[in-house]
Structure 1
Amino acid sequence: MPYVTVLDMQPIDPPTGGGRLRLLGLYHNLNKDLPTTYIGTYDWPGPGYRHHKLSPTLEEIDIPLSKEHFELHEKWKAKVGGKTIIDVAFPQMAYLSPNYVKFAIKATKEADIVIFSHPWIYPLVKDYIDWKNQLVVYDSHNCEGLLRYELLNDGKFGTELVRKVIELEYELCHRADLILTCSHEDRIMFNDLYNIAFKKMIVIPNGVFVTRIQPTQKDVREKIKQKLGLRGKVAIFLGSQYQPNIEAALFICDYLALAISNVTFLICGGVSNAIDYKYLQKKGIKNVKLTGFITEEEKLYYLQASDIAINPMFSGSGTNIKMFEFMAAGLPTVTTEIGARGIFKEINAFKVCSKENFADAILEILNDHEMWEKYSYRARCLVTEKYSWERISPFLGKVLLRNLEGKRKGRPYFSIIVPTYERHHHLSNLIKKLTEQTFKDFEVIIVDQSKSYWKVPNIAKDLSVYYYHTDIKGAVKARNIGLALALGDVIAFTDDDCEPYPDWLENAYKYFKEKDIIGIEGLIKSDNISDNFRCVCNERFEGIGFMTANLFTLREMANRVNGFDETFDNPHFREDTDFAWRLLNYGKIPYARDVVVYHPPHPRNIKRESLEERLKFFEKDALLAKKHPELFIVLFKREAHYIKTPGYWENFLRGCLKYNCAWILERLRLHGINWEKYVQK
């Protein structure tokens, strides 16, 4: 049974503030067979040694720092204008707390997987790591080099500390086997700043315990308001005493509270300690309530009392856990672009606006009950599916075990990713075809969204098959899950009903010997039996259509473009075209006629294959046109669905409204396509 050690220099319990919440959320349930030990300490003097269980699989050991450690910190703190630097300076000061270092070294030696949550402990234990057999992971809460530059760069002592942070983070990033980032934006930042390969970075977002924070009924909300002495509408902001949060709190006081006098603004958490009540009185601000530090139970109470949440962040990096708490509570949320960084924005689960429009956005939602309900519902749905710790932690456990296996046993050349939904009979046939491949260095990742589990057939015993079952629906999401689990350098996509030729992988392998080739579009063959069958092929559409029935790419590039855009899900269509078009910005994707997959035609009397169902997919053409207007015109004309497919325009126009891109119709007109003529027909 493998063991995990997580190292940092703060306690987890109580889980207050974004860092501690991430620690508890990520590691509370990696796997029932993946026991995890957290080694931490207290960044304040007083508490003693503590060893306790936080969950059935997560234990926390906190070793207090020495008196001398805190004394030196106070001296260094004075050199940077009173800013807390006990974390940044930890590598230089840890010699004063030898007991902590002793525990950290011991836990590092005993682990199969060593995770550095922040980079501060890495230099203390790096000489005790078995680099050949232990999986080393950097869980980056932020890009610390950039963040500390923003907070500490003063041209003096602070700049010296920043330089050491950058050197430390650079070394850890390059030596680690895997880097966890909170967002794709952070992944780009690490690549730009430290030249880290995208294939060793995986986005593991922040989250929230959705079973703990839930929406509140209106009558309950009003009763809680009365108990708290609150009147009218209430807007909540949460935050620790962290400079970007302080900026947001001052914006609330100096602008929002004055602009919207009939709304009470709750500023909760350590950030409220940065605001002086005398300051509010001097400005005549009566509608701001400062709570000071709050417990988790008090936080729930304040969330239940609120009508709307706000997150006016103007600086910082990483993602804001408070956003997920707001959404879990079913609160419509108004945020800046920075406040929503790293969070899926395409289903309008929250309102993103500028500093200048912030007050108007709050009033618009509060004064429109239907809009309030939509934001509340979408927010809860999004956070439950993508940002719940209950999902994220066990998935991370699978990712860690996969990468540990890859380090110890070696990684395959190809990872074949296959999403499947209620077609187990087709899946078994695909597996049979994969056993016949002449090129053997590959793994198969099956992401099954069916109601029941698939029994891997005996014929697959000689293959490396990784089976992942999920209740999350959508082929686009399934492919992204597969990408996160993949170990191969090259990703091969095909469908569960396809039949690759025996030399499919062998022929594909030859193309990747050329440096400028980042992917392959293979030939998809089918039989055009009659109009009563749906035929899938890509002849005559090569170099423009791209289909995941037969598509290859380097994993490095798949991660660089952040995988598939999940806005193209439900119904899933054109996600593969969009994916390939974004990849083309980084290299060539030739059409390979010798890399062949057969796609059987399916009878139209099956509901999911019926013309009525498939026509609905064309709403995604509008989204594709919105993202790639020039390339779309080429595809649009070559496929000519607008001429030959009855029902096309109805669904395309619906997509134009849904994705707010009616302007594409005028662009079509400029290219000689009079859409009104076809619609009138």
Structure 2
Amino acid sequence: MTLRTTVLDMQPIDPPVGGGRLRLLGLYHGLGHGHRAHYVGTYDWRGPGARKQQLTPTLLEELVPLTEAHFTASDRRAQDLGGKGVIDTAFHTMAHLSPDYVEAARRAAREADVVVFSHPWIYPLVRDVLQPDRQLIVYDAHNVEGLLRTELLDDGGAGSAVARGVVEVESAVCRAADLILACSHEDREAFANLYGVSAGRIRVVPNGTFTRQIVPPSIEEKHAVRQRLGAEGRPVAFFLGSKYGPNVAAARFIAEALAPALPGVLFVIAGGVGDGLEDMTLPANVRVTGQISEEDKIAWLQASNVAVNPMFSGSGTNIKMLDFMAAGLPIVSTEIGARGIETSERAFAIAHAENFAQTIRTLLDNPADMAALGEGARVQADRFYSWERISDSLGALLARWAVPKREGREPPFFSVIVPTYERHTLLTKLAGYLALQTWRDFEVIMVDQSAEPWPDRDRDFGFDLLYIHTDRKGAVTARNTGAALARGRVIAFTDDDCEPHEGWLANAHECFSTSDIVGLEGLITSGRAGDPNWRGVTNDGFEGIGFMTANLFVRADVFHAINGFDIALEKPHFREDTDLGWRLQEVGEVPFSRGAWVYHPPHPRSVERESLEVRSKFFLNDAILLRKHPDRYADLLLREVQWVHNPHFWDYFLKGVELHGVNVPEPVRQIMHDNAGITYTGLLGAGVGAADAPAHPVESAQVVHAPAPALHVELRDASLRNSLRRSISWTVRPVWRRIWARIEGRVRPVDQKVDAIHQALSDLRHETTERLREIDARIEALDTRIGAVLDKVPARGPAQGAANGEALSAEAEEVLRAARLVLRQHSSALAAVGHHLDSEDEAAERRAQSVQTVQPTR
């Protein structure tokens, strides 16, 4: 069955120069088997004639020229706006002057199963021929045009009128669209805030690059291309862009600020952006290439040592950044230049205008850092920003949403997401349990990262199954991939080795239908609890804090609104579920359900992927969780007491702190000291504090750090627990471990919380006493001043004011005497309160001295 997709815009795709055309080609060139894409566009300049060409086996480009009358009207409007071109933004108001184009667009829209508006400009021209009951309507948003065009055009006059028109058109297409494709999560948030669009209808489909065409060169290839381009003898810094306002500003910054500061570096400014520098006298170390072919672009990417992207405004993401990453170049960018680019490891350095040149200099002086950044950039480009992957995934998304709509099927209530890796037997077993669910309104999306496809992928299990086989490893990415394809109102996460109870979905549905909740944590049961030779998985007793994807439900709109799972927690995949749960709780209620339960079989530690040694490394991610949630992490530590069960916990926690440069707050330091004898004083010489650490995981991946300093840690003598462990025979050690784990897991957290509460109350009492003394002193001073005034008042008649020589009336004198009486009454009351607090302190001290501290038997 063929899915016919019409894509409408008002520019050509070929040649693919500039961000807009590259996105069109990248997104629609390879939607996959069963897709046929028909692009209808035009030229935004005079001259070329009509053409049709098959750009790829599944993408047909049809271009219909605009009329001279259309260009003339557009030129007049541009003159009214002081030369600002509006042939795109005002297109819907002038398109009647190009009837052939309008008819071609309307004809293609009528015939399609999927209608994609690439930019909003064409929507008003075809909206009356759309068939929303059977067609999937998609808005592919290159930018948040309402915000961008307001920024560029709003002048209080004619430009503001055009900007208002853009907002109206974009708002209309957002209301009509079943799906909105945003370039970044920031754009998704902007659409939700500006137009009130539910995040459940918005999918982030990032910009990309052709990673099979742009690849890092060998040393020999780099040397040869540098010779050919005349770029030998000095490092090359490369910038690429079209003639677009923010790009021109970046190019001018390179010529005016960076080149003079770094005379030994050759700055190459490539693309149409060079036309914006024609009025400048350029430094000798700046080379402007003008418009270049794809082959020349790749040549300069291969010849360059570093890429720069000093962007200071704009919307969406910069495709040039992704080209730089695919080429394996170390990159220095502003935050705006890197907006919307999420990575699971460091891929570029972030700089500001004032330190941009110094950042380039530092990078060029450190070959190891350059190599690490370049390698990380290439890996991340291939993993997340490859047009080859993105187009195929978009094809799956369009088919997943369009086919049911064409067939009149409503979206399901639940979308069950299952990541899997090399456990096909367990996956088939899980499918059997899902087939027994009493609640039948659900779909299942399995994302398989195994070397070979699942043998049962085409088997009919009695439910709607989407199976995806991918070579992109990582459970976090797999869950996000499944959620992006999901159509359900609620996303249900479980693992490939779980066994859901037959009432799992039914009981979860009852919770969502009877209360206004954003998520649900279901019970996970397991076996062999406390046995060190097995890894049991359960959340019983850890409700509302740990969260596990073995059994977690999230409202789809909320999942997308908070940007799903954080890919910074991908390597290794750990704590991403806890982080998601905590962010959910910031939005709304996430209760715990014992009715919606699953069984998670325990795994033998003898299996390498389940061994204590392998899974202990997961605690490296605790540092990221701590950085993101410093106020909650201490509570998690006290609830889990991981150090009791895992002797490697603190080692890997501290390695993670060092690796990610995370500040350890005082409550966590105290727990380290009280429970492990670790006196932690921070990263030696690093000066890293909470304010210095990146607030977002993407930023942590971007920052280039110097070699991480060692941690300053002092260990005190072995605790009583460790001494007893050495003296207990190996035969009873497992029993002791289970008993001690239960005692310490319940008693110590309570004891620590009581100590914390007692200390807080003591601090509050001390602060209150000091405050009372301060208030009493101020009252006494005011009473003295009033007394001085009254002492100078004669027994009869008006008096001269002590301060300003003005007459003091009898009424004022009476008010002053009354005020003095009130102040003395307050002073007495404060004295009584202070005396009571002093008595409480003395009583508490006596009680503390009379209490004997009893250590639990170990």
The change in CA–CA distance for 1:38 and 1:457 in structure 2 (over 3 A counts) is closer
> In the alignment, what sits opposite 1:604?
605
For residues 295 and 96 of structure 1, what CA distance do their matches in structure 2 show?
A: 33
Contact 1:545 1:635 in 2 (8 A): yes
Q: Cα deviations across residues 627-661 of structure 1 (Å, max 9, x unaligned)? A: 11111110101101134421111111111112211
TM-superposed CA distance for 1:458, in Å, is 8.0
The structure with more radius of gyration: 2
The letter for the 1-side match of 2:432 is K
For residues 475 and 111 of structure 1, what CA distance do their matches in structure 2 show?
A: 36
> In the alignment, what sits opposite 1:233?
235
TM-superposed CA distance for 1:618, in Å, is 1.1
> Are 1:262 and 2:260 an aligned pair?
no
TM-superposed CA distance for 1:220, in Å, is 2.9
Matches within 5 A, 1:379-394: 379-394=377-392
Unaligned runs of 5+ in 1: none
> In the alignment, what sits opposite 2:738?
none
Q: Cα deviations across residues 84-103 of structure 1 (Å, max 9, x unaligned)? A: 11001110110010000010
The letter for the 2-side match of 1:292 is G
Q: Cα deviations across residues 529-564 of structure 1 (Å, max 9, x unaligned)? A: 632111100111111010011100100010011010
The change in CA–CA distance for 1:229 and 1:418 in structure 2 (over 3 A counts) is same
The letter for the 2-side match of 1:337 is E
For residues 67 and 614 of structure 2, what CA distance do their matches in structure 1 show?
A: 68
> Are 1:488 and 2:482 an aligned pair?
no
For residues 240 and 105 of structure 2, what CA distance do their matches in structure 1 show?
A: 33
Q: Cα deviations across residues 259-287 of structure 1 (Å, max 9, x unaligned)? A: 111101111111111102x6225xxx211
Q: Cα deviations across residues 156-191 of structure 1 (Å, max 9, x unaligned)? A: 111111111101100100110000000000000001
Contact 1:432 1:460 in 2 (8 A): no
For residues 494 and 220 of structure 1, what CA distance do their matches in structure 2 show?
A: 48
TM-superposed CA distance for 1:153, in Å, is 0.6
> In the alignment, what sits opposite 1:668?
668
SS class of match (1:545): coil
SS class of match (1:35): strand
SS class of match (1:502): coil
> In the alignment, what sits opposite 2:6?
5
Contact 1:432 1:459 in 2 (8 A): no
For residues 665 and 180 of structure 1, what CA distance do their matches in structure 2 show?
A: 40
| Percent identity of equivalent pairs | 50
Contact 1:419 1:448 in 2 (8 A): yes
The letter for the 1-side match of 2:480 is N
Q: Cα deviations across residues 462-492 of structure 1 (Å, max 9, x unaligned)? A: 1111111111111111100110111100011
Matches within 5 A, 1:590-669: 590-661=591-662, 663-664=663-664, 666-669=666-669
The letter for the 2-side match of 1:370 is A
For residues 62 and 251 of structure 1, what CA distance do their matches in structure 2 show?
A: 37
For residues 229 and 411 of structure 2, what CA distance do their matches in structure 1 show?
A: 57
TM-superposed CA distance for 1:344, in Å, is 1.3
> In the alignment, what sits opposite 2:132?
131
Matches within 5 A, 1:327-338: 327-338=325-336
TM-superposed CA distance for 1:134, in Å, is 0.5
Contact 2:343 2:380 in 1 (8 A): no
Q: Cα deviations across residues 62-107 of structure 1 (Å, max 9, x unaligned)? A: 0000011001111001011101110011101100100000100110
TM-superposed CA distance for 1:667, in Å, is 4.4
For residues 297 and 82 of structure 1, what CA distance do their matches in structure 2 show?
A: 33
The letter for the 1-side match of 2:116 is I
Deviates more, 1:599-608 or 1:454-463: 454-463
> In the alignment, what sits opposite 1:447?
447
SS class of match (1:179): strand
> In the alignment, what sits opposite 1:14?
15
Contact 2:457 2:467 in 1 (8 A): no
Q: Taking CA–CA contacts closer than 8 Å with sequence separation of 6 or more, which of the two structures ends up with the larger relative contact order?
A: 1
For residues 335 and 169 of structure 2, what CA distance do their matches in structure 1 show?
A: 30
Contact 2:209 2:386 in 1 (8 A): yes
Matches within 5 A, 1:536-575: 536-575=537-576
Deviates more, 1:295-304 or 1:92-101: 295-304
Matches within 5 A, 1:227-306: 227-230=228-231, 231-276=233-278, 279-280=280-281, 285-306=283-304
For residues 479 and 211 of structure 2, what CA distance do their matches in structure 1 show?
A: 25
For residues 218 and 600 of structure 1, what CA distance do their matches in structure 2 show?
A: 51
TM-superposed CA distance for 1:219, in Å, is 3.5
Matches within 5 A, 1:454-473: 454-456=454-456, 460-473=460-473
SS class of match (2:156): coil
Deviates more, 1:157-166 or 1:225-234: 225-234
SS class of match (2:3): coil
> In the alignment, what sits opposite 2:508?
508
> In the alignment, what sits opposite 1:358?
356
Unaligned runs of 5+ in 2: 679-712, 719-858
SS class of match (2:553): strand
The change in CA–CA distance for 1:346 and 1:477 in structure 2 (over 3 A counts) is closer
The change in CA–CA distance for 1:373 and 1:527 in structure 2 (over 3 A counts) is same
> In the alignment, what sits opposite 1:315?
313
Q: Cα deviations across residues 175-208 of structure 1 (Å, max 9, x unaligned)? A: 1000000000000000111010000000000000
For residues 361 and 564 of structure 1, what CA distance do their matches in structure 2 show?
A: 31
For residues 221 and 672 of structure 1, what CA distance do their matches in structure 2 show?
A: 51
Contact 2:435 2:461 in 1 (8 A): no
The letter for the 1-side match of 2:553 is F
The change in CA–CA distance for 1:301 and 1:45 in structure 2 (over 3 A counts) is same
Contact 1:665 1:675 in 2 (8 A): no
TM-superposed CA distance for 1:514, in Å, is 4.3
The letter for the 2-side match of 1:210 is T
For residues 506 and 330 of structure 1, what CA distance do their matches in structure 2 show?
A: 50
TM-superposed CA distance for 1:669, in Å, is 2.2
Match 2:401 to one of 403, 407, 411? 403
SS class of match (1:309): strand
> Are 1:372 and 2:373 an aligned pair?
no
SS class of match (1:664): coil
For residues 644 and 497 of structure 1, what CA distance do their matches in structure 2 show?
A: 23
The letter for the 2-side match of 1:558 is F
The letter for the 2-side match of 1:59 is L
> Are 1:69 and 2:70 an aligned pair?
yes
TM-superposed CA distance for 1:254, in Å, is 1.2
> Are 1:417 and 2:383 an aligned pair?
no
Deviates more, 1:294-303 or 1:78-87: 294-303
> In the alignment, what sits opposite 2:525?
525
> In the alignment, what sits opposite 1:45?
46
For residues 669 and 71 of structure 2, what CA distance do their matches in structure 1 show?
A: 70
> In the alignment, what sits opposite 1:677?
677
Q: Cα deviations across residues 581-600 of structure 1 (Å, max 9, x unaligned)? A: 11111100001111111111
Q: Cα deviations across residues 34-75 of structure 1 (Å, max 9, x unaligned)? A: 011100000000000000010011010000000110011110
For residues 270 and 143 of structure 1, what CA distance do their matches in structure 2 show?
A: 23
For residues 342 and 215 of structure 2, what CA distance do their matches in structure 1 show?
A: 20
TM-superposed CA distance for 1:459, in Å, is 7.0
RMSD: 1.4
The change in CA–CA distance for 1:674 and 1:256 in structure 2 (over 3 A counts) is farther
For residues 69 and 644 of structure 1, what CA distance do their matches in structure 2 show?
A: 75
For residues 80 and 580 of structure 1, what CA distance do their matches in structure 2 show?
A: 50
For residues 666 and 264 of structure 1, what CA distance do their matches in structure 2 show?
A: 48
SS class of match (1:74): helix
For residues 332 and 29 of structure 2, what CA distance do their matches in structure 1 show?
A: 30
TM-superposed CA distance for 1:664, in Å, is 1.2
> Are 1:194 and 2:195 an aligned pair?
yes
For residues 369 and 459 of structure 2, what CA distance do their matches in structure 1 show?
A: 53
Deviates more, 1:331-340 or 1:355-364: 355-364
For residues 634 and 514 of structure 1, what CA distance do their matches in structure 2 show?
A: 30
> How many residue pairs are counted as aligned between the two chains?
676
The letter for the 2-side match of 1:432 is G
Contact 2:344 2:570 in 1 (8 A): no
The change in CA–CA distance for 1:17 and 1:246 in structure 2 (over 3 A counts) is same
SS class of match (1:512): helix
> Are 1:59 and 2:60 an aligned pair?
yes
Contact 2:27 2:387 in 1 (8 A): yes
Contact 1:668 1:674 in 2 (8 A): no
For residues 520 and 594 of structure 1, what CA distance do their matches in structure 2 show?
A: 11
